[in-house]
Structure 1
Amino acid sequence: MSGNEVVSIEEVGKVALVCIDNPPVNAGGYGVRKGLQDAVAGINADGRAEVIAIYCAGRTFVAGADITEFGKPPRAPIMPDLYNELEQSALPLICAIHGTALGGGLELAMACHARVAVPGARVGLPEILLGLLPGAGGTQRAPRLIGIPAALDIALSGRQVPVEEAHALGLIDRIMEGAPRDVALAAARAVIAGELAVRRTSDLAVTPDDAAIEATLAKLTSKRPALLSPRRCVQAVAGATLPFAEGLAQERRFFMECLGSDESRGMIHAFFGERAVANIPEKTATPRDIQSIGVIGGGTMGSGISTSALMAGLPVTLVEVTDEALARGVKTITANLDGAVKRGKMSAQKRDAALAGLTAMTGLDGLGNVDLVIEAVFENMEVKKEIFGKLDRICKPGAILASNTSYLDIDEIAATTSRPADVLGLHFFSPAHIMRLLEVVVGARTAPEVVATGFALARKMKKVAVRAGVCDGFIGNRILGHYLKTASYLVLDGAHPDQVDKALEGFGFAMGPHRVGDLAGLDIGYMTRKRLAATRPAEERYGGAIADRLSENGWNGRKTGKGYFVYEDGKTLENPDLNAIIDEARAGAGITPRDFDDQEIVDRYMTAMISEAARVVEDGIALRPVDVDVVFLMGYGFPRFRGGPLHYADTIGAAELVRRIEAYAQEDAHYWQVPALLRRMADEGTSFADMNKGI
């Protein structure tokens, strides 16, 4: 017996070893499923073996289903049927886990009669992260092995469970040292010797826990009311108290319901989008070798960037103007790394090694030998140009000069140097050591290998890079600047900031725009409005009067304890002075306020966001709609289950969006203008998804 091209069989005495070899992650595609079915059936029919042991080649056990098969006609055997068949094997069937056993991989393991794992392995049921629930018996077998509360935790969090915890819970029967093949063979021999117990998971009883089910459903209703998949997941787990076949049938119905939902389509789009954005014109260029970096500025952004680089194993030279500012920066970096240790993101030993790679100094002269410099000072073009002029003289040939600017013109900055090909923007998002998004801003003369280096740096820092062209605000902040005007117009015209925030939080945003403004600091927006005041057209409505007044009063949000809201003792309270400021602004603009319902708030806000996003794509600032989606999913709190603003736009349709804009333009023809791209899509019946095809 030999199996197929991805599943092979090896006989060692009375043990039949079944090896899955489907790189890179042994996904449970058709070849794996068919190979397992044939192998286990054949070994049972042959009669020579006493135990069947499954293990995987490569770096991991089965790390999940083959997601590329989603949306395609299923090919038998499908996972639920296969795992039921495997569980009924007359011969004891065990598995040896290394790397990760996730989703369908863990469901395969739970269908086996015993599970062993090597140290460092992890298991989990991450389907919820795709708007799904475990659909191959996971909601039925997990409660039988570990109880309903633990099954709910693992299935609803989507987290990867360390092998020690999995063993303590009962998901794993034994932790064994060794290579996967050796562990599989040793475990099989332990079964033959009667030293490792085997049983069918479906035969185990489930202890009902109505309290856990009800408490979890209540929590979901209060925290994530818009999401379908978590509720269906809880209901499926609750069904584990039914006869096994009935529980499986219910799980399958719920799984198919979720698979056909907008929620799942949005989350699957987000999953693929994170990978698609790496497909850039410069992808064939060879990145430059980055062994050390310099960071100019020890404030919030500079310290966060330094922390991220140090956690990635890159030595950092931090530069500040004064010893006091430098000390504050080092203190912040140390606190960031200590926080990473507390969160379990790194060991104390790695923290110490990271700190040993930090050099702190005043003055730029120490940056002569670093491979990459990231300037992270405040948003002032003249200051940045002065710094880059100095870096041009100090830095070695081939060193990359990057600015962390959020808005400013990279080409204007690059023009101050004799090496514009070496200059690009690296727009990190705050807190830079936690946020995964990195906009790589490509200037008119930025060299392809410099762009490729930006993407390589992002991978090293475990961030997702998105390529952006040069304009004020690049992708994210350009769009943000446009749609935040809608939020301010809504308030001027009659809505309350708290109503606007709650309507958008109901849509799925973690925080509404006014709470976000308070969190970021209202002074940032104030400075941006002042910077752009001279460029504002005379016919444009000015929506910043309320925010300006708050900032001029020194009420800049959380950091001052007061903004749109008041922040005391960890609580967010009403600002008693806000309504008077709003009334004054309305009176000054001659506005008679009217009522808005929550749906109109969401429609106007999202239509404005989509409109400017369409222009960003049309202008070539973003390569494709999916690039815009990833920026907003990863940097701006856009609800993941909506898939991003342009994926969501397709659920509305271009024709309806054009109709909305034209209706809103009756009130404000300057602000509400139909993007040419959107008009063309409406005329042709096409979608943003069509523009993503082939990536």
Structure 2
Amino acid sequence: MSVSYEIHDGIAVLTLANPPVNGLGIATRRGLVESLTQALDDAQVRAIVVSGGERAFSGGADIREFNTPQAEQEPTLPTVIAAFERSSKPVVAAINGLALGGGLELALGTNYRVASSRAQIGLPEVKLGLLPGAGGTQRLPRAVGLEAATNMIVSGTPVAASLLAKTRLFDRVVDGDALEAAIALAREVASSGAKLPKVRDWKIKHENAEGFLGFARTAVTAASVNYPAPLKCLDAIEAAALKPFDQGMQVEREAFALLIQTPESKALRHGFFGERAAGKIADIGADVPLREIRRVGVIGAGTMGGGISMNFLNAGLPVTLLETKQDALDRGLATIRKNYENSAKKGKLTAEQVEQRLALITPTLSYEDLKDADLIVEAVFEEYSVKQAVFTQLDAVAKPGAILASNTSTLDVDRIAAFTARPQDVLGMHFFSPANVMKLLEVVRGKQTAKDVLATVMALAKKIGKTAVVSGVCDGFIGNRMIEQYSRQAGFLLDEGALPQQVDRAMEKFGFAMGPFRMGDLAGNDIGWAIRKRRALEKPDLTYSKTADLICELGRYGQKTGAGWYDYKPGDRNAHPSAEVNALIEKHSADIGLSRRAISDEEIVERLVYALVNEGAHILAEGIAAKASDIDIVYLAGYGFPIWRGGPMFYADSVGLYNVLAAMRRYAKGHEGKAWEPAPLLVQLAEAGQSFNR
């Protein structure tokens, strides 16, 4: 039953029952209208309370119905809200937990609202490239004021009900459960016989609405260059302020219909669903038991190890931090403390919270102190001999059932697992730097990784606030395997006529947070150099531009050395074009017999992005990634791919795989054309008129 119906001494209580957040799917919408009708027809019922129970009023639309016919089936949410708004008996909303999106719009359609002070209130549709489509842009400004509503709708950020207690949105805000207070209010208003208030009838009071909206439009225009939804939200809010309610509703409906067809909204919705789908693993159901994680061990107190530790400390998990030398351990602890104190200076933590988190660390120089850890993550140097030494010792001291994880970014997790007598307990947990900030976590499933180990780590990823994507075992996994092809094309472009600043500028204009050469300088060019040296032994036929090796031979490793593809000044992280590097690049072109040519930004973008797409197609075909959306989430969460483009595979679908393939075949006629051999899966889908994200 999607809506339960009970009578409490003349008060009908309608309780949403669609876990986990009472999504307003078709069954729930029908249940609401049927229960309302039942209450209106019952002469014993004097008033009605709508509740979502203790955990959540409603999180809005049921995401399981997105992009299905059920989402538009009657009664739609506007129809449901209109039914409640017409009620001849008082209707009170009892709000606990969440009232988001359509959930808040439903509450705005009732006569009265009672909320728990801890309830979260918001209209987050803009984050999906949309606007509230069931009257939210029209009713919320009438309930909380023009400025507060504009901030909530344009940002999509929820706020605590306690912060809205003095607005007309809530009749009462209580510290405990809202239901009891709502029933009491329902009895009062039923006895009073007062005219039933409707939010739609309220006037928006603002001294200079047009002036405020003009200011807001200037600010939003500057901040939402690649997103049409925020400005459309403002259009609808402006209509709420300056036009009659029904005309404002028409503006909202037209804007919603336009936005839902935009490529930006489609991309944002793809990312939204892709992130949730990433946590669903085909052969691991909800019945797989999880191992208990009460204490974590981290090996290595350097940049990665310290950042990894902070993730667990932030979640309240004790960490035993191991280093081989006291000075390295002291430096790592000092860095963790400094990071937390910087957060405190910014108001993100209190001094007490800083000390609470630091108190969860047990520093050690002995592997024996890891014997009680339920999960141990190593973050040591990226060499098999080093990994072998670590995992051999872990195998000897870790308790039975402890999960052993490697933070390797490229190495074979199966080979690492074979260093132990318990390969079923081993997997990869590839954090991205800085590990305490970056959202992505590649969880690498080995051939023998136990199902409960994988399920446990995926659940733990949520607890520590990471976006986890499962990868199979291969060199570089999903993200770094693909970025290598991206970087190869960037290098070939330098050989042919581009310079680093042009390539970076083109990719940043496309929407990347950082172009490939600025990214290399930030990460350290010596890291790629080491990988290329290994590739020369493992894959001698794999070609690269030599320019990256040449700048490394000059000691230009990036920001950490003050020089890389760009020049850097002390205390200044801005990248300044380097005359020395540009001259080196031009000389190298001459040395290999290439006449440099003008290269368009369009060619730069296509070659780099389609290199990602082609390698992604190989990864899909090999089963390294379970689905195309997993690849997209890796690039959205970890590599700065523009969110409004949906990830490389979704972007290729948007362009059309036929067009992608045609461009690749065109580039195959040029310098290093053998790098453009199309993946069989890409050819197959393009010729069949299909897409990656089917």
Give the TM-score normalised by structure 2.
Answer: 0.91
Q: Partners of 1:120 and 1:559 in 2: how far apart?
A: 49
Q: Which residue matches 1:462?
A: 465
Cα contact 1:277–1:627 (8 A) shared by 2: yes
Q: Partners of 1:334 and 1:194 in 2: how far apart?
A: 60
Following TM superposition, by how much is the alpha carbon of 1:683 offset from its aligned partner in structure 2, in angstroms? 2.9
How do 1:218-367 and structure 2 match up within 5 A? 218-240=218-240, 241-284=242-285, 285-338=288-341, 351-367=354-370
Give CA-to-partner distance per residue, 1:321-345, whole Å, 9 cap, x none: 2222112222232344445666777
Cα contact 2:566–2:578 (8 A) shared by 1: no
SS at match of 1:543: coil
Following TM superposition, by how much is the alpha carbon of 1:406 offset from its aligned partner in structure 2, in angstroms? 0.6
Pick closer, same or farther for the CA change 1:187–1:585 going to 2, 3 Å: farther
Give CA-to-partner distance per residue, 1:573-609, whole Å, 9 cap, x none: 5334343343333333333332233322222221111
Give CA-to-partner distance per residue, 1:31-64, whole Å, 9 cap, x none: 3222333444454455655543221225111111
Q: Which residue matches 1:602?
A: 605
Pick closer, same or farther for the CA change 1:341–1:575 going to 2, 3 Å: same
Give CA-to-partner distance per residue, 1:519-547, whole Å, 9 cap, x none: 3333332333333333454572x325157
Q: Partners of 2:633 and 2:655 in 1: how far apart?
A: 19
Give CA-to-partner distance per residue, 1:299-327, whole Å, 9 cap, x none: 11111111111222322100112222112
Q: 557, 560, 573: which one pairs with 2:559?
A: 557
Amino acid at match of 1:266: A
Pick closer, same or farther for the CA change 1:352–1:574 going to 2, 3 Å: closer
Q: Which residue matches 2:23?
A: 27
Pick closer, same or farther for the CA change 1:146–1:682 going to 2, 3 Å: same
Q: Partners of 1:582 and 1:193 in 2: how far apart?
A: 84
Following TM superposition, by how much is the alpha carbon of 1:401 offset from its aligned partner in structure 2, in angstroms? 1.9
Q: Partners of 2:39 and 2:413 in 1: how far apart?
A: 65
Cα contact 1:517–1:557 (8 A) shared by 2: no
Q: Partners of 2:351 and 2:192 in 1: how far apart?
A: 42
SS at match of 1:689: coil
Q: Partners of 1:571 and 1:316 in 2: how far apart?
A: 33
Pick closer, same or farther for the CA change 1:518–1:40 going to 2, 3 Å: same
Q: Do residues 150 (structure 1) and 172 (structure 2) align? A: no
Q: Partners of 2:128 and 2:275 in 1: how far apart?
A: 13
SS at match of 2:427: strand
Cα contact 2:275–2:467 (8 A) shared by 1: yes
Q: Do residues 677 (structure 1) and 678 (structure 2) align? A: no
Q: 499, 506, 510: which one pairs with 1:503?
A: 506
Cα contact 1:562–1:575 (8 A) shared by 2: no
Q: Which residue matches 1:572?
A: 574
Following TM superposition, by how much is the alpha carbon of 1:198 offset from its aligned partner in structure 2, in angstroms? 6.6
How do 1:544-693 and structure 2 match up within 5 A? 544-546=546-548, 548-549=550-551, 552-554=554-556, 556-557=558-559, 560=562, 563-564=565-566, 566=568, 572=574, 574-577=576-579, 578-667=581-670, 668-690=672-694
How do 1:430-579 and structure 2 match up within 5 A? 430-538=433-541, 540=543, 542-546=544-548, 548-549=550-551, 552-554=554-556, 556-557=558-559, 560=562, 563-564=565-566, 566=568, 572=574, 574-577=576-579, 578-579=581-582
Amino acid at match of 1:36: L
Q: Partners of 2:490 and 2:229 in 1: how far apart?
A: 30
Q: 84, 87, 97: which one pairs with 1:86?
A: 84
Following TM superposition, by how much is the alpha carbon of 1:10 offset from its aligned partner in structure 2, in angstroms? 3.4
SS at match of 1:129: helix
Q: Do residues 75 (structure 1) and 42 (structure 2) align? A: no
Cα contact 1:177–1:183 (8 A) shared by 2: no
Pick closer, same or farther for the CA change 1:372–1:69 going to 2, 3 Å: closer
Cα contact 2:130–2:256 (8 A) shared by 1: yes
Following TM superposition, by how much is the alpha carbon of 1:400 offset from its aligned partner in structure 2, in angstroms? 2.4
Q: 6, 14, 17: which one pairs with 1:18?
A: 14
Cα contact 2:298–2:309 (8 A) shared by 1: yes
Q: Which residue matches 1:204?
A: 202
Q: Partners of 2:454 and 2:622 in 1: how far apart?
A: 19
Q: Is 591-600 or 405-414 further displaced after alignment?
A: 591-600
Cα contact 2:529–2:552 (8 A) shared by 1: no
Q: Partners of 1:132 and 1:618 in 2: how far apart?
A: 34
Q: Do residues 391 (structure 1) and 389 (structure 2) align? A: no
Following TM superposition, by how much is the alpha carbon of 1:122 offset from its aligned partner in structure 2, in angstroms? 0.5
Give CA-to-partner distance per residue, 1:337-365, whole Å, 9 cap, x none: 44566677766655544333210012323
Q: Partners of 1:562 and 1:194 in 2: how far apart?
A: 76
Cα contact 1:664–1:672 (8 A) shared by 2: yes
SS at match of 2:674: coil
How do 1:411-422 and structure 2 match up within 5 A? 411-422=414-425
Give CA-to-partner distance per residue, 1:411-436, whole Å, 9 cap, x none: 22223223333222111112222323
Cα contact 1:17–1:54 (8 A) shared by 2: yes
Pick closer, same or farther for the CA change 1:161–1:344 going to 2, 3 Å: farther
Identity of aligned residues (%): 42
Following TM superposition, by how much is the alpha carbon of 1:252 offset from its aligned partner in structure 2, in angstroms? 0.7
Q: Which residue matches 1:37?
A: 33
Q: 53, 60, 66: which one pairs with 2:56?
A: 60
Q: 131, 134, 149: which one pairs with 2:132?
A: 134
Cα contact 1:381–1:413 (8 A) shared by 2: yes
Q: Partners of 1:516 and 1:171 in 2: how far apart?
A: 47
Give CA-to-partner distance per residue, 1:193-232, whole Å, 9 cap, x none: 7799973221222335344434444444444322222222
Cα contact 2:408–2:428 (8 A) shared by 1: yes
Amino acid at match of 1:572: N
What number of residue pairs does the alignment pair up? 685
Cα contact 1:152–1:237 (8 A) shared by 2: yes
Q: Partners of 2:586 and 2:220 in 1: how far apart?
A: 38
Q: Partners of 1:166 and 1:551 in 2: how far apart?
A: 61
Q: Do residues 406 (structure 1) and 409 (structure 2) align? A: yes
C-alpha RMSD over aligned residues: 2.8
Q: Which residue matches 2:165?
A: 167
Q: Partners of 1:348 and 1:199 in 2: how far apart?
A: 47
Cα contact 1:546–1:581 (8 A) shared by 2: no
SS at match of 1:301: helix
Cα contact 1:51–1:188 (8 A) shared by 2: yes
Cα contact 2:617–2:681 (8 A) shared by 1: yes
Pick closer, same or farther for the CA change 1:398–1:547 going to 2, 3 Å: same
Q: Partners of 2:541 and 2:68 in 1: how far apart?
A: 53
Q: Partners of 1:339 and 1:60 in 2: how far apart?
A: 35
Q: Partners of 2:636 and 2:120 in 1: how far apart?
A: 27
- Could you tell me which runs of 5 or more consecutive residues in structure 2 were left unpaired when the two chains were aligned: none
Following TM superposition, by how much is the alpha carbon of 1:253 offset from its aligned partner in structure 2, in angstroms? 1.0
Q: Is 509-518 or 155-164 further displaced after alignment?
A: 509-518
Q: Partners of 1:128 and 1:580 in 2: how far apart?
A: 47
Cα contact 1:566–1:575 (8 A) shared by 2: no
Cα contact 2:294–2:317 (8 A) shared by 1: yes
Following TM superposition, by how much is the alpha carbon of 1:178 offset from its aligned partner in structure 2, in angstroms? 2.9
- Could you tell me which runs of 5 or more consecutive residues in structure 1 were left unpaired when the two chains were aligned: 691-695
Amino acid at match of 2:690: T
Give the TM-score normalised by structure 1.
Answer: 0.91
Amino acid at match of 2:577: N
Q: Partners of 1:621 and 1:160 in 2: how far apart?
A: 37
Q: Partners of 1:186 and 1:349 in 2: how far apart?
A: 40
Cα contact 1:116–1:176 (8 A) shared by 2: yes
Q: Partners of 2:594 and 2:140 in 1: how far apart?
A: 60
